[in-house]
Structure 1
Amino acid sequence: MTNDNVFGNSRLDYIRVANYYYKSGLTQEEIAQNMNISRQRVNRMLSKCIKMGIVRITIEGVDETNLGLETQLEQKYGLKAVRISGNISEENVYEEIGKTAANYLAGIISKGDIIGFSRGRSMSALVDYMPVVKVNNVVVTQLMGGWNNQQTKIKVDDIVHRFSEKIHAASTLLYAPVLVNNPKLREAIINEPFFYEAYNVIKSCSIAVVGIGDATSKTILPNMEKEDYEYCIRNNAVGEICAHFFDKDGKAIKTPLDERVINVDLDDFFNIPLRLGVAGSKSKIPAILGALRGGYINSLVTDLDTAQFLNDVE
């Protein structure tokens, strides 16, 4: 029989419980038996030991990492995970962010995952640094069409192909351009059986790995007409993910391009459980902030300077 009702819980009692647990290595059940109290009370006392300053927890090496800042960003923006590369220069920002993203992704891929990619330099660097791992029944797909006037390594279809080789996974390609000349051509493509089958894979994605584009860049999409670009700017577009544009608050911006773009539907994109944004540098801060505010991503890999800005902004 425990003695919870008469146990006084003096400061010495708290110290004794802490000593048993942290120094002597006793379990909570053993402490409860020794002190003739319930295990639940032992648990409550151990928690209060920290609040009372009797126990101070230190983690060796934590001050040499960005763990504190990562946790603050996770809490501030409601993110599942944040990973921060070191303080790096503009010249190697894509390389270092890609390396950090590769290490994170390698640790979370599970059997049966379907992983969708967008395009870009960060995505390409991620593939370059991705460890060679083997996970059963993983499929890799593209979240948007490709185009031919890019460097080969940053095209989405090439990224999907190289990544699937790295992790010994199957791949599904769209075999379609990201931007076509007119809505009728887009309609014809998305009604083809090959596209329908590929898109069903996209809708089943468990992980999306995406770059975050700067909507003020005139090269944001191939064959983008001057009037399309000016329309986005007039409507205050700051960022783009998979050819979906949004403003500084993350509000989606409908554009004339929507009728000509071949990409994952926005509702289907938001249904993907893990949406990892991989982006950094000063020029992309408005786009990253918009993506966070709009919930386009729920995990983030970025650089230290960008992370500090995101933490400080109101």
Structure 2
Amino acid sequence: MYIRKRIDAFRPSRGPHTGGTMANPMDAADAVAGGFAAEDTRLMTKVARLYHEQGIRQPEIARRLNISQPRVSRLLKKAVASGIVRTTVVAPRGVFADLEDEIERRYGLTEVVVADTGGEDDEFVITPALGAAAAFYLETTLTGGERIGVSSWSSTLLATVDSMRPRSSHECESVVQVLGGLGQPSAQARATHLVGRLVQMTGAQATYLPAPGVVTSDATRRALLREDSIAQAIDAFPNLTVLLAGIGSLLPSPLLRASGNAVSAEDEDLLRSAGAVGDVCMRYFDAEGQPVRSHFDKRILGIEAADLLHIPRRIGVAGGRRKHEAIRAALLGGWINTLVTDSATAAYLREAAR
């Protein structure tokens, strides 16, 4: 963002035809009423304009006006205190500070990061933009000691870790895979790459979950939970401090279908009839964000909803029209409290909250 100094003293207000009005411009009467003589106000304004608008340094201002440098400094401080100088933050093109603030306020989120995609709804445009934005967010907010849980399949998460830069110091303690990745051979390869790349970028220790995300029955799931390598990951879930996850719609993504972990048509019908619109880590919820309970839950080998919702910082990286309803529901249900999304989705979320 850019910070702009605005000099308001003795400046006439502008009507709508000139593009807006100065916020409460100060005039000579205001200045005198505030305890400043008209001459002091004139000098304060002159000094403020030289310093803030022309970029002239204080010693040069003192020389030009034949006053001492300490007096220049005092006049600049008085100009701020009196309201002659006002600071405004101007967001550059492609930065959506007001939109981010509004969504945070309306949905009670900790933070929102909006990536500029030029209004495109093409996944080939949205995915790298979200990945770059999420990578920068992680690089600037990981302060050390975090224990990160990461979902195993998500094109936006793959784009995120591939956009990250290695750090010279250890940025987090551990990275834990919170959802099984086995299925087709490529699925575990992606899950391994996702966890491994995040470990490489942060200097953390890795804990993998070498199991399918969706199994055939509850009995199979319970049998797998007895395996030491799987139990090690499960035991780490309650101590996670950060979750990094995608937000899924009920219609599986191409990546999920290719993984072999996608829900079957029969399961999809079951979830739809129960009101499901989306998921985080395969834990499904309805349009208001409330959990959808079904037998399908007992076939998921991954983090339980209670442990997921207990994680202090839950970062969701998702966008695109196909996921609008799912993202809104995830916000309403508190499944995530930090969102990285695209500008068109952010605009939808703002309108949907009215």
Which TM-score bucket, shorter chain as reference? 0.7 to 0.9
The residue type equivalent to 2:134 in the other structure is A
Task: Indicate which of 126, 134, 138 corresponds to 2:160.
Answer: 126
TM-score for both structures, normalised by structure 1 = 0.80
For 1:300, what is the secondary structure of its paired residue? strand
Q: Distance in 1 between matches of 2:317 and 2:333?
A: 16
Q: 1:157–1:297: structure 2 CA closer, same or farther, 3 Å change rule? A: same
After superposition, where does 1:284-295 map in structure 2 within 5 Å? 284-295=323-334
Paired residues of 2:309 and 2:335 also in contact (CA < 8 A):
yes
Q: Distance in 1 between matches of 2:271 and 2:302?
A: 18
Q: 1:152–1:202: structure 2 CA closer, same or farther, 3 Å change rule? A: same
Structure ID, larger Rg: 2
Q: Distance in 2 between matches of 1:117 and 1:139?
A: 11
CA RMSD of aligned residues (A): 3.2
Paired residues of 1:124 and 1:154 also in contact (CA < 8 A):
no
Q: Which moved more, 1:141-150 or 1:201-210?
A: 141-150
Q: Distance in 2 between matches of 1:256 and 1:158?
A: 31
Map of 2:308 onto structure 1: 269
For 1:201, what is the secondary structure of its paired residue? helix
Q: Distance in 2 between matches of 1:121 and 1:64?
A: 23
TM-score for both structures, normalised by structure 2 = 0.72
Task: Indicate which of 123, 138, 144 corresponds to 1:111.
Answer: 144
Q: Distance in 1 between matches of 2:112 and 2:184?
A: 33
Paired residues of 1:213 and 1:284 also in contact (CA < 8 A):
yes
**What stretches of structure 2 of length at least 5 have no aligned partner?**
1-31, 52-73
The residue type equivalent to 2:88 in the other structure is T
* Structure 1 residues 71-108: Cα deviation after superposition (integer angstroms, max 9, x where no partner): 11111111111111113431321111011000000111
Paired residues of 1:110 and 1:135 also in contact (CA < 8 A):
no
Q: Share of identical aligned residues, percent?
A: 28
Q: Which moved more, 1:269-278 or 1:147-156?
A: 147-156
Q: Which moved more, 1:57-66 or 1:77-86?
A: 57-66
Structure 1's consecutive aligned runs of 4 or more residues displaced over 6 angstroms after TM superposition are: none
* Structure 1 residues 33-52: Cα deviation after superposition (integer angstroms, max 9, x where no partner): x9xxxxxxx9xx95xx67xx
**What stretches of structure 1 of length at least 5 have no aligned partner?**
1-8, 25-33, 35-41
Q: 1:228–1:107: structure 2 CA closer, same or farther, 3 Å change rule? A: same
Q: C-alpha displacement at 1:198, in angstroms?
A: 1.7
Map of 1:178 onto structure 2: 213
Paired residues of 1:112 and 1:138 also in contact (CA < 8 A):
yes
The residue type equivalent to 2:329 in the other structure is G
Q: Distance in 2 between matches of 1:134 and 1:213?
A: 34
Task: Indicate which of 125, 129, 145 corresponds to 1:92.
Answer: 125
